[in-house]
Amino acid sequence: MARKAQKRIKHVPQRTCIGCRMVLSKRELIRIVRTPQGILIDPTGRADGRGAYLHNIRSCWEQAIKGPINNALKVELTAGDIAKLTEFMSTLPAGEPTQGSRTTESDQKGTA
């Protein structure tokens, strides 16, 4: 007996916002990249370099600039980099993230 063809589900890459730790599809987040030229905001998500992802919400950017971005990009941000990120952050809407799933250490360890 022949098998019935099943519709293939397309893989959607998931990334974690370093500001709020929510897991969302890659396209819903903004990528920041560490390059030899410095820190860049990568709207295409394809630039070469070490990257980190953030929501397009000011609260996530404020949280990330306080420290997690240094760890995610494995670099200490310069005053120029912080100014560049703060300038971009000022164009973003204020608010709290509402979509995605939030992961915590207890979720990852399997305990509630």
**Residue 56 to residue 87: CA distance in whole angstroms:** 13
User: Mean per-residue pLDDT for 73-94?
Assistant: 92
Side-chain-side CA neighbours of residue 90 (13 Å): 5
Query: In sequence order, what E strands does the chain have?
Result: 14-16, 22-25, 30-35, 38-42, 50-54, 101-102
- 19-58 pLDDT, tens digit each: 999 999 999 999 999 999 999 999 888 999 999 999 999 9
Domains of the chain: 15-95 (3.30.1230.10)
pTM for the full predicted model: 0.78
